[in-house]
Amino acid sequence: MTLQSLLRTKPVERITAEGANTQLRRSLGLIPLIALSVGATLGTGIFVVLGEAAPQAGPAVVLSFVLAALAALFSALSYAELAGAVPVSGSAYSYSYATMGEFVAWLCGWCLLLEYGVSVAAVAVGWGGYLNEFLDSAIGLRIPDALASSPSAGGIVDLPAAIVVLLATVVLIGGARESAVVTTVTTVLKLLVLVFFVMVTVTAFNSDNMEPFAPAGIAGITGGASAVFFSFIGFDAASTAGEEARNPQRDLPRAIVISLGIVTAMYVLVAVTAVGAVGSEALGGQEATLSAVMREVTGAGWPSTVLAFGAVIAIASVVLTVLYGQTRVLVSMSRDGLVPAMFSRVGKRSVPTTNTLVVGGVVAALAAFVPLGQLAEATSIGTLVAFALVNIGVLVLRRTRPDLPRSFRAPLMPITPIIGLGLCVLLVAGLKSATWLAFGIWTAVGLGVYFLYGVHRSRLNDWQHGDRAEAGQS
């Protein structure tokens, strides 16, 4: 093993050829791709994390969402360009392999596994809170805390969180087209529920609740943005569907940019009306934040019941779509030989069945025993690192392959990816030291896996040896 072997890149043409010859079924058009991206993004972030960030940033949590959205936007433009140029399932992992080499690609893929896997668990934990809220307001029944909370949160096991992950696993095994139908329906439903929330809470808007606007200053806004960045994780899920999109070069960039616009507009509206209705401090410490706001604003039970029901459906759809993203990243990593071959084997329904079952089981266990706050921050750091690499990847590919066909070009090069990279660094710096420690441990484990397994089994070894042999014979 040499430094050269760690930095070897995988040719874009080879990556694209593998995507073109995939066993996965090309069944997704623009609308399902937008639904996949919105569905993976619009969930626990706004339904739950708003309550954790608002006390920290005050009413300026609205600006925290805007700052996080800007970081996501500049990265989304880079994602859109690479998704159009390298339309395969691996998302940022495949883009890094084509631009910065195998070692960086492995680190990026490892971060994506953290992003997708941990975010699914975090979303599932948030789902349990809204399920309890719905059951309580609808039929006066609550799941006992011992069976609805992780051990560190005072319970034994978070059973609802584990169950929703396992249900999503079953749906995914049914096939990509069937999963897309479920995702589209639930995405429309969650948008309607959030519009309902905005329409109700805007009637109780009180400008006094917006003062003082930024009690903790810039530090509070930046810290809040680092926390709520979790809310924007998922827009890149569309890029993991590169091998199941009917026209990936055209539709993937559109789906990424359109979905981020929809999500950002909805987040800002919800944050403004929620803070304006009850104040930022009142949002803290709530298990089902938006349902609690509805109850306080209306003084009636049925609006919060409607919202809780919508949240149960909405958050479950996020579990489904983000779990999908993780399995597709593993397909690409497995196909490259960096993780075992079982993760890329496709079953009768054109689904990586073993991959889906293993991922679903591991994530269900994670959701059952780890609390939301720790999961959300671990997800944010993994995502920000992956986004930073995508921004670098666009710059590298523009320089090394200016001739490569691109269906979408990030505007104002090289300013756009540089700003995206800078914003990712800014938000990473706002995360807690405990989060950095957890990320360091995760990275160390990943390096161990790569150097003990992946570097020796990389299929790029075989391809390069074959190319040399062919050159020698000729």
Q: What is the CA radius of gyration of the chain?
A: 22
Contact call for residues 420 and 77 (beta carbons, < 8 A): yes
Output the six-digit token pair for 323: 């779990």
- pLDDT at 8 (0 to 100): 81
Average pLDDT, the chain: 82
Q: Is the pLDDT of residue 358 over 90?
A: yes
- pLDDT at 22 (0 to 100): 62
CA distance 253 to 72: 14
- 280-330 pLDDT per residue, tens: 888 876 666 788 888 888 887 788 888 888 888 877 888 887 788 888 888
Q: Is the pLDDT of residue 470 over 50?
A: no
What's 454's DSSP letter?
Answer: I
What percent of the chain stands above pLDDT 70?
88
CA distances from 204 to 136, 198, 274 (A): 25, 10, 9
Residues near 252 by Cβ (< 8 Å), separated by ≥ 6? 33, 80, 83, 84, 87, 238, 239, 241, 242, 245
- 377-401 pLDDT per residue, tens: 666 787 888 889 889 999 998 998 8
- pLDDT at 224 (0 to 100): 83
Q: Is the pLDDT of residue 269 over 50?
A: yes
CA distance 179 to 418: 36
- pLDDT at 474 (0 to 100): 39
DSSP E strands in 162-217: the ranges are none
* Most confident segment among 113-122, 193-202, 320-329: 193-202
Q: Tell the burial category of 63 from Cβ atoms under 10 Å away from its Cβ (0-12, 13-18, 19+).
A: buried
